[in-house]
Amino acid sequence: MRMYDIIMKKRDGYALSTEEINYFIENYTNGLIPDYQVSALLMAIYLNKMDKRETLDLTKAIINSGDTFDLSKINGIKVDKHSTGGVGDTTTLILGPMVAACGVPFVKMSGRGLGHTGGTLDKLESIKGFRVELDNEEFEEIANTINISICSQTGNITPADKKLYALRDVTATVDNISLITASIMSKKLAIESDGIILDVKVGSGAFMKNIDDAVRLAKEMVDIGNLYGRKTVALVTNMDEPLGKAVGNALEIKEAIDTLKGKGPEDLYELTLVLGSKLLYLAEKVDNEIDGRNMLIEAVNSGKAFEKFKELVRYQGGDVSYIENPELLPKAKYVLEVKSNVEGYVKAINAEEVGKCALALGAGRETKESIIDMAAGIVLNKKVDDKVEIGETLAYVHGNDLNKAEEVKNRLLNIFVIGEKNQEAKKLIYDEIN
């Protein structure tokens, strides 16, 4: 087999065979095929697309390029949750304890944030002492003791994806449905959970900017998950404005605590309930999603979900007093108020721009090596469709660098679009794919 012939075949619009896909992934991972040939193939795939069988083969080949993670030593039916990435997406921190409090194991290997989107591991590390680096035995033991554990990925999982993703990033071949599906699903399927729930984000803060594309991506991912033999469902949800109110590491931990106590932002709580009820149903804990929803609400109202979060923090080495008293969490030196100079209704709050503001304050990573300012971030006081008076606070800027905080304050004033009331009320969930 020759890479040249594989490139030519895809260039001319034909489907690649299973053997051809395996050949190129295996030899690219080993370093035997150079980047320039794979770049050409990626562009051919981008332009001529892959069918479902090819996408499944590509996903499998990427999984086989490295190790898989066996969860069989953890008791119960394990359902993994994955969000395609957004701004202020605090759901994992709320969903995990809620589901675990209902008796369903929630075990997750999470990632760190890069660019304008945050990562669950970084947020957890704003709690003093919290350890995200666990070895496999520790991860299994904690999960079996308290039903929940969240750690960083260990081992050599999907090395082909790391190389391919870096190459796609610099060759304008990221936004292709098959390539995205194989990239995301290979990483999810390499962790051997019993089910997968996907939260596909769409809007200004997501990499899918329109609903049709997001639904197409969600359907493809659900198909590939199910064809691989894993129960997979997806939601397509709004990322036009940030989720909840807080964007930033310690600020989102505080938001998670509030929500677990039943005092969080409505959209964040609602999305967690919808994801959670699907998760309890997938894990066969309830016969239908309505029972699941009620069980989750009960876990919050009884205080069990909040207790579960404290247990997670304690078992992973964190200082629980930070959770009991969030005032102890890292705090910014300056908190500036962004005040409206017009009256009307909030029409839009571009989530990507808010994410970039948080990044400028130090809440995120410009590069993999950047050090995060745990205290920095933004808290929205108004959300889309809210009424605003002149002089009312739109948002709070939390920063340790006064110049940067002032600059972000001015940027935010332009990010809030205020005017006539929107014709249609905003939607949180656009579609469900079961």
Q: Active-site residue numbers?
A: 82, 161, 168, 183, 187
Gap between the Cα atoms of 309 and 93, Å rounded: 8
Nearer to ligand URA, 170 or 335 (CB): 170
Nearer to ligand URA, 142 or 179 (CB): 179
DSSP 328: G
Smallest separation (angstroms) from Ca ion to the CB of 363: 12
Smallest separation (angstroms) from Ca ion to the CB of 238: 13
Question: What would the two tokens of residue 184 be?
Answer: 């995301």
Smallest separation (angstroms) from ligand URA to the CB of 26: 20
Residue 184 interacts with, from ligand URA, Ca ion, none (CB under 5-8 Å by kind): ligand URA
Helices within 125-248 (DSSP H only): 136-146, 159-170, 177-189, 211-227
Secondary structure of 261-277 in the HEC alphabet?
CCCCCHHHHHHHHHHHH
Would you count residue 45 as binding Ca ion (CB under 5 A)?
Answer: no
Residue 183 interacts with, from Ca ion, ligand URA, none (CB under 5-8 Å by kind): ligand URA
Would you count residue 117 as binding Ca ion (CB under 5 A)?
Answer: no
Smallest separation (angstroms) from ligand URA to the CB of 214: 12
Smallest separation (angstroms) from Ca ion to the CB of 252: 5
Q: Are 343 and 390 in contact (CB under 8 A)?
A: yes
Buried b (16+ CB within 10 A) or exposed e, 107-133: bbbbbbbbebbbbbbbbbbbbeebebe
Would you count residue 237 as binding Ca ion (CB under 5 A)?
Answer: no
Q: What is the DSSP code string of 305-325?
A: HHHHHHHHHHHTT--THHHH-
Contacts (CB under 5 A) with Ca ion, residues 368-407: none
Nearer to Ca ion, 71 or 246 (CB): 246
Instruction: Tell the residue number behind the tokens 């050409």, with chain if given.
Output: 40
Instruction: Decide: helix, strand or coil at residue 83.
Output: strand
Question: What would the two tokens of residue 120 be?
Answer: 């669950």
What are the residues whose beta carbons fall under 8 Å from the beta carbon of 253, sequence distance 6 or more?
93, 123, 124, 126, 127, 322, 326, 329
Residue 246 interacts with, from ligand URA, Ca ion, none (CB under 5-8 Å by kind): Ca ion
Burial (CB count <10 Å: 0-12, 13-18, 19+), residue 2: exposed
Residue 244 interacts with, from ligand URA, Ca ion, none (CB under 5-8 Å by kind): Ca ion
Nearer to ligand URA, 46 or 269 (CB): 46
Nearer to ligand URA, 98 or 191 (CB): 191
Helices within 283-401 (DSSP H only): 289-301, 304-315, 321-324, 351-361
Question: What would the two tokens of residue 263 be?
Answer: 């005092």
Gap between the Cα atoms of 115 and 350, Å rounded: 15
Smallest separation (angstroms) from Ca ion to the CB of 111: 17
Q: Are 334 and 405 in contact (CB under 8 A)?
A: yes
Stretch in the footprint of Ca ion (CB under 5 A) among 69-77, 89-97, 285-293, 323-331: 89-97
Nearer to ligand URA, 202 or 415 (CB): 202
Residue 119 interacts with, from Ca ion, ligand URA, none (CB under 5-8 Å by kind): none
Gap between the Cα atoms of 100 and 272, Å rounded: 13
Smallest separation (angstroms) from ligand URA to the CB of 167: 11
Nearer to ligand URA, 95 or 184 (CB): 184
Q: Which residue of the chain is nearest ligand URA when measured via CB?
A: 183
Contacts (CB under 5 A) with Ca ion, residues 246-265: 246
Smallest separation (angstroms) from ligand URA to the CB of 303: 36
Residue 180 interacts with, from ligand URA, Ca ion, none (CB under 5-8 Å by kind): ligand URA
Contacts to ligand URA by CB under 6 A: 165, 174, 179-180, 183-184
Would you count residue 326 as binding Ca ion (CB under 5 A)?
Answer: no
Would you count residue 90 as binding Ca ion (CB under 5 A)?
Answer: yes
**CA neighbours closer than 13 Å in the CB half-sphere of residue 177:** 20
Would you count residue 244 as binding Ca ion (CB under 5 A)?
Answer: yes
Gap between the Cα atoms of 193 and 238, Å rounded: 26
Nearer to ligand URA, 184 or 268 (CB): 184
Would you count residue 118 as binding Ca ion (CB under 5 A)?
Answer: no
Would you count residue 276 as binding Ca ion (CB under 5 A)?
Answer: no
CB atoms within 10 A of CB 341: 9
Residue 190 interacts with, from Ca ion, ligand URA, none (CB under 5-8 Å by kind): none
Residues found near Ca ion in the complex (CB under 5 A): 88, 90, 244, 246
